[in-house]
Structure 1
Amino acid sequence: MRHTRTPMNLPLIGAALVGLGAGALLSYPGWGLALSMLAWSIYHARQFNKVMSWLSREADDMPPEGTGLWGDLLDQLARRRKRAVAREDKLKAVISRFQQSTASLFDAIVIIDRDNNLEWWNKAAETLLGFQDSDRGKSIFNLARDPRFIRYYQKEQYQEPLQLVSPINSHTFLQHQISRFGDGDRVLVSRDVTRLVKLEQTRQDFVANASHELRTPLTVIHGYVETFLEQDLPRPLHRGLSQMQHQTTRMERLVADLLLLSRLEATEHITDLHPVGIQRLIEQIHRDAEELSGDRAHHFQVEIEPGYQLLGQELELHSALSNLVFNAVRYTPGPGEISIRWWVDDKGGHFSVKDSGIGIDPIHIPRLTERFYRVDESRSSASGGTGLGLAIVKHVLMRHGAHLTIKSKTGEGSTFTCHFPPDMVRPVIEAVSN
């Protein structure tokens, strides 16, 4: 029912005049005014109580009858309440649909608030991560206690996912991916990748076993070919044996790289770290690179910031850094410029190799670290490369908590830079004699 709005001061003035008039007739105008104001207050108090009682009841209850201003107020409140109920029902339907859809997912979805506390998760999170209703509101660090997950979470570098064993099942492997949204909130998506891990392990075992089995026959063939080449043979036969020697040597390098890559892939992290003299290591690689350059006479520029050691495995670091330097020698026509640099800043240690070689089209850069990926098949084969060098570099750096950046343009050379975290770099403490 619509009510006609009446200015609030008119009923009040009218009640006051009635009270004064009635009191004047009885010769007590003051008492008449006081009694009329008291009646006015009691009436509005009762109307107020009706409104409050109605507001405290269920939203679908009909509003009480009211007159005047209270009728207008009740109409406005009833309309607003009806719209609020409609919006609430709509939101409930959306939330219910969202919960039903996420409950059907096999991936665990967890919403974490800005204070790192668990806010909501779907059914799969209970199966994969072991969350329970009593965990709501607890810190994510109390439930996901793996140090690698904590480092991944706190570094806030979520470009790459993190793969770990499930906290409730050692035979299940989970891939974690975190994204930020809202005002500091995060959503964690955990996916069961056990099948993919097992397939990858099968592939690694096959490659490792096949490579291992190939070593012996290749060694035998290579030895016999060398023995035959030492003999006085006809030129066509000598030429054929020379090609066989070249190809067996290349296959031996390929097998060696496959075995190294399989070993690197076996574990993602190094458990035994040793201080490595980075200056001595780079100087050794520089000497080997000059020998590889040979008659092409590349010009090397070496800049090493002294006084630092790098924590890690020396053989792995030598393999990764030498691969970058030797690639620069192979793909830079002589006499070209090759710059080798090591420096340390607040972001960690950095090793870069810059050349003036043929360069790489930027379209190929995202795939350069894939196994056997070649920008130019004929060019790579002629250089004697196996196609595994940069894959080895990537895995060595991952095991050392580092990463590789590549900058290159066709005809303008390339720059490969290894970035090591600050906790892997230590200053050399020299002994002071008294």
Structure 2
Amino acid sequence: MRRSRPSMFYEFLAYVSAGFLLGLLVSYPGWGVALGVCLWALYQMRQYNRLMNWLQREDQSEPPESPGAWGELLDELARHQKHAQSREQDLKAIIARFQQSTAALDDAIVIIDRHNCLEWWNSTANTLLGLRPGDRGKPLLNLVRDPRFVRYYRKSNYQEPLQLSSPANPDIHLQYQISRFGEGDRVLVARDITRLVKLEQTRQDFVANASHELRTPLTVIRGYLETFLDQELPRPLQRGMSQMQQQAKRMESLVADLLLLSRLESTQHISDEQPIRIQSLIAQIAQDARDLSADRGHIISLEVDPEHDLIGQELELQSAFSNLVFNAVRYTPGAGEIHISWKVDARGGHFSVRDNGIGIDPMHIPRLTERFYRVDESRSSASGGTGLGLAIVKHVLMRHGAQLSIESRSGKGSTFSCHFPPDMLRSLNYQDSAAG
């Protein structure tokens, strides 16, 4: 229960009054008042020193007993101190519980402040990321220097995770996921996916080996079929041999696409980034599309930004772009329009193929990039497609940090667009001026 004590003002009046009465006894009331004020000031200084000495202690001792207003102040501070100590104990218990729970996780968790410096991490991060106690306060990008991680960290969109080898152990494969919180802070979660990567590698090796083994017998079959077709054969046998040759060619295309897809899946990122003359690349693809169109009369138009090129792997991008353009030729009726464009804006570079062909029902769009997924089995078979084209496109774009978007409606045509981030572009004007 709080004690009722006189206020500091009444204490001051008491000292002044006592000094005044003492001064009257010696016929010097003014000096008595001055003496009372000085004694009051000395008393306040003494109480202040006692308060400061108590506050500077770390033994959590009880406050000194004092009368009057100083006693009330010390009691109030003691109550606040006990409350703060109680809250501190609760917070310590919560932090200890949090550290115990995060230490039990198999994932590395790292908290990064607004200045991109390490603020806290769990014990698993020591193993997976090679962090040490002395790294606290150091910039994260000074410790994890892989250019692909730096590029991923600096972009603002963390919807897709990043897969890389561990900086502490190249045999460990990690999946990085970053989330923002607070005012510019980030939390980085690194998950060990080595087992999943090995399982996926086993699957890829099986597909690659099986596809590779199929090439030789297919080559032999095609060779004999061509030899037989060069002979004079009865019409029924000729027709059968021609269909066999057609299917053998299709199987060879399928095997080639399987091998290419297996190679693309073997790594998440390209290893040799080179400037690509995208203007000439698109022009060559457009010419190949006109040759494929032959006498079907497609109107193929180009719109190409002359000031920006791409940085990447040319053969992979040529394969991806060709797949999109050739699909437009295959699925657009004769005399249809196909528009190929390369545009650059603040969001990056955009390669698009737009046609006014048969289109795709929106319900099929989310699954178009799956292997062997077909909107219409008979239509796809007739076009000669393998069912792997868009899967190849998706993996090529993933390796270049790009994304595929599809807009289509049945009977209204389709637009396939590849969106590349700004850091994959190269300004030709800048290069020319630098060279000059």
Per-residue CA distance 1:157-214 (angstroms, 9 max, x = gap)? 3222222222222222222222222121121111111111211221111111100111
- The CA RMSD measured in Å over matched residues stands at 2.7
Q: Is the 8 A contact 1:164 1:173 kept in 2?
A: yes
* Post-superposition offset of 1:404: 2.5
1:12-411 equivalence runs, <5 A: 12-58=12-58, 60-229=60-229, 231-233=232-234, 235=236, 240-294=240-294, 296-306=296-306, 309-345=309-345, 347-411=347-411
- Find the aligned partners of 2:413 and 2:66 in 1 and give their Cα distance: 85
* Post-superposition offset of 1:414: 2.1
- Find the aligned partners of 2:177 and 2:282 in 1 and give their Cα distance: 36
* Number of residue pairs the alignment of both structures matches: 429
Q: Is the 8 A contact 2:11 2:68 kept in 1?
A: no
SS at match of 1:170: coil
- Find the aligned partners of 2:93 and 2:409 in 1 and give their Cα distance: 54
- Find the aligned partners of 2:308 and 2:73 in 1 and give their Cα distance: 77
Distance 1:38 1:314, change over 3 A: closer
Q: TM-score, normalised by structure 2?
A: 0.88
> Is 150-159 or 126-135 further displaced after alignment?
150-159
Return the letter of the residue paired with 1:305: D
SS at match of 1:101: helix
* Post-superposition offset of 1:324: 0.4
Identity of aligned residues (%): 66
Q: 1:413 is matched with which residue?
A: 413
Per-residue CA distance 1:319-354 (angstroms, 9 max, x = gap)? 111100111223333443221112344554432101
> Is 140-149 or 112-121 further displaced after alignment?
140-149
- Find the aligned partners of 2:154 and 2:194 in 1 and give their Cα distance: 25
Q: Is the 8 A contact 1:339 1:355 kept in 2?
A: yes
- Find the aligned partners of 2:102 and 2:339 in 1 and give their Cα distance: 53
Q: TM-score, normalised by structure 1?
A: 0.88
> Is 120-129 or 193-202 further displaced after alignment?
193-202
- Find the aligned partners of 2:252 and 2:419 in 1 and give their Cα distance: 31
Task: Point out where structure 1 has 5 or more consecutive residues left out of the alignment.
Answer: none
- Find the aligned partners of 2:38 and 2:308 in 1 and give their Cα distance: 89
SS at match of 1:169: coil
Per-residue CA distance 1:253-279 (angstroms, 9 max, x = gap)? 110101111222334444445554433
Task: Point out where structure 2 has 5 or more consecutive residues left out of the alignment.
Answer: none
* Post-superposition offset of 1:24: 0.7
Distance 1:405 1:16, change over 3 A: same
Return the letter of the residue paired with 1:427: L
Return the letter of the residue paired with 1:372: F
Return the letter of the residue paired with 1:369: T
* Post-superposition offset of 1:55: 2.4
